[in-house]
Structure 1
Amino acid sequence: MKEILREIGMIARALDSISNIEFKEFDLTKGQYLYLVRICEHPGIIQEKLAEMIKVDRTTTARAIKKLELQGFIEKRDDRHNQKIKKLFPTEKGQSVYPFIRRENDYSNTVALSGLSEEEVETLFYLLQKVRKNIEIDWEFVKKGNKRNY
């Protein structure tokens, strides 16, 4: 069997490493940019949905959120209808960094997909979405405390 997941992992780690180096000038470290981008794209998102979107556990998300808040990139606001719910919003500082992160993402996409035809890009996108959906089933299962049978 081809080691597809190893290839995906190497790509993800390489891009993450590049981003961590390039975003250091903004004091964004260890993948914090992932959270900031999602909050900028979905202002008012709640922490649980953010964790689900990025596919990390709640504790990891809580730590990243706390750091981003302390650094002034995001703020928590009370929900109007339920005081227990805290919604996440980018601050002016967070909004000002967002375009740079988007440009980096667009550039990385261009580099990663260079040499592929439009049809190949569409096929790759479709297939990767299919793989992600397959993995999400196990992720949800294990996240709930279950153990996979392999």
Structure 2
Amino acid sequence: MAGVMRDLEDLVEPEALTGSVSYRLRLLQIAAYKSFEKTITGFGAAPRYYGMLKLVQANPGIHQMRLAEAIFLDRSSLVPIIEILSREGWLERRDAKSDRRVKRIFLTDEGQDKLARLEAEVARHEAVITDGFTPAELDRLRGDLARIDANLRGFLAAPNVEQSA
């Protein structure tokens, strides 16, 4: 039957996976993304870029390169996303006054209005995935995720080091 989760009791998950934080994070990210896309409709491409839109809202005029860094994207990957969201009326790019080669990103007035409506749907989805957690457990989870984020940002910012065999 389509859409029904099969019984996973018979699935053997090797210890290399059950003990791997990065594997579990990736698996949960995929599941969270699928459930998010399933429940939030009518906003075009924006739901998948909600975090990016909130960063632009909190940092009006953010430099396009800084935005790419903040969400772990290459500039070349960010440009088509900005183009899509611009066509849908969410964002606009403006030249920086000091350097026309620099692009600054802003939410449009329409984007601000639509983002307010999208936030209600995001809050509903967040309630689904955090159901049963106490406030203290959520604080701990957010803190642990922030530590992982800091570890990854530090690792990615460090110069490349040759791996010994």
Shorter-chain TM-score: which interval? 0.7 to 0.9
**Structure 1 residues 148, 8: CA separation in 2 closer, same or farther (over 3 Å shift)?**
farther
Task: Work out the CA distance in 2 between the residues paired with 1:97 and 1:32.
Answer: 13
Please state if 1:28 is matched with 2:45: yes
Question: How many residues are aligned here?
Answer: 147
Please state if 1:63 is matched with 2:80: yes
**Structure 1 residues 121, 30: CA separation in 2 closer, same or farther (over 3 Å shift)?**
closer
Please state if 1:95 is matched with 2:130: no
More helix per residue? 1
Cα RMSD of the aligned pairs, angstroms, is 2.5
**Structure 1 residues 26, 41: CA separation in 2 closer, same or farther (over 3 Å shift)?**
same
Pick the aligned partner of 1:37 from 54, 66, 73. Answer: 54
Structure 2 gaps of 5+ residues are 1-15
Structure 1 gaps of 5+ residues are none
Opposite residue 149 of structure 1, the aligned amino acid is: Q
Return the TM-score normalized by structure 1.
0.81
Pick the aligned partner of 1:126 from 137, 143, 147. Answer: 143
Report percent identity of matched pairs: 22
Give 1:74 deviation, angstroms.
0.9
Give 1:147 deviation, angstroms.
6.2
Give 1:78 deviation, angstroms.
2.0
Structure with greater Cα Rg: 2
Return the TM-score normalized by structure 2.
0.74
